[in-house]
Structure formats: structure tokens, C-alpha cells
Amino acid sequence: MATEQTQDLIIVPCGIHGEMNMTYRWGAGDFLSKAFEELRDNGKIYANECPQCGRYHLPPRKVCGRCHVEMDGFDKWVQVGPRGTVLVYTVTLAPFLDPETGKPRHVPYCVATIQLDGAPCALEHFLKETNPENLKVGMRVEAVLKPEAQRKGDLGDIIHFKTVQE
């Protein structure tokens, strides 16, 4: 996709990293907030289970879309990870803006869907490994967390998942 247009008649800078800085204050809600607090304060990753159909949500969610029922507080939370299995992965080679910094992200980087041990549910996150030769569906990985003092209470508290031999 084109990132800038010089051919058009009028260019109006307007956007996320343009001259107009437009911010949103989303609410994470009590479920995602608690999940991020657990990650920041205790280094733990949680999923939650629907009391009706038994499906797990990662990160925890308040409403099960399949049953359209509200979760019963925090009592169906289960700790998952830090190890897991790679279901699929992709190595991105097209330079992309890092939304956190507004600067081009260093390529290559690898994003994977990881099934964490402890419950049948999956999360997308970075893999440390980016060499296609060393990447395999089914490979075992483990979450690498930031040092406790640097954690902010967001998904970035997990730096990436590193390959582990078992």
C-alpha cells in the first residue's frame, strides 16, 4: 500500500501519525484489566472458561459469543502458559509502522498463534525466532516477560515467545 502520495493535487495530513494526533481512551474493562494486572504484578497469564459451553477465552472475556451469556465473575479463571505450542506463524518482511512508536518496525518479525499449556485456547504474539529454517508448526515455545520493574500492564509485558527444547 502506498504510504504517501505526492502526485495528488492536495495532500491533507490527517491520521494516526500525521500532524493531527488523534487519540482514543478505550476502556479495557474489568476482565482484561485484571488479566493485565496479573501479568504485570505476578507474571501470570490467564484464560477464562464459559460456564455454559466450556470454551476458553484468551485473554479472558466477559461474554461468551457462542452462548451469549455473561461470565460468572472471576471464578472460572485458569492460569495458562508460560509454555505453549505454535499452531501457525508468519514472518513479516514488508516494513510496517510500529504503532507504539510511529517509526518503521524492524523486519523481519514473526507473529504466531500459540496454544498455551493449560487450556485449549490460543493467543497471537511475537516469536523471537525469525529464521524460516528454524520455524515449525508444533514447535514448543515459552513466554519471555519483561523484568518486573519495567512491566506496564499491557500485552507488551510479554516481550515475545522463545523456542524451548523439551
| Chain contacts with another protein (rule: CB under 8 A) | 1-3, 5, 7-9, 12, 14-16, 24, 26, 28, 32, 36, 57-59, 65, 87-94, 96-100, 105, 109, 111-113, 121-126, 132, 137, 154-156
In the block, residue with C-alpha cell 464459559: 50
Q: Decide which of another protein, Zn ion, none touches 78; Cβ closer than 5 to 8 Å per partner kind.
A: none
* Identity of the residue, 77 or 158, whose beta carbon is nearer to another protein in the bound complex: 158
| Cα–Cα distance, 123 to 143 (Å, whole number) | 11
CB atoms within 10 A of CB 93: 10
Binding-site size, Zn ion (CB under 5 A) = 6
Residue 90 partner contact from another protein, Zn ion, none using kind-dependent CB cut-offs of 5 to 8 Å: another protein
Please report how close the Cβ of residue 64 comes to Zn ion at its closest, in angstroms.
Answer: 3
- Closest separation between CB of residue 121 and Zn ion, Å? 12
> Are 76 and 62 contacting, i.e. CB atoms less than 8 angstroms apart?
no
Give the separation between CA 59 and CA 35, rounded to whole angstroms: 7
Of residues 23 through 82, those in contact with Zn ion by CB under 5 A are 50, 52-53, 64, 66-67
With binding defined as CB under 5 A, does residue 121 bind Zn ion?
no
The answer to whether the Cα torsion of 132, 136, 139, 144 is positive or negative is positive
Nearest distance from C-beta of residue 128 to Zn ion, angstroms: 34
CA distances from 126 to 72, 91, 138 (A): 31, 10, 15
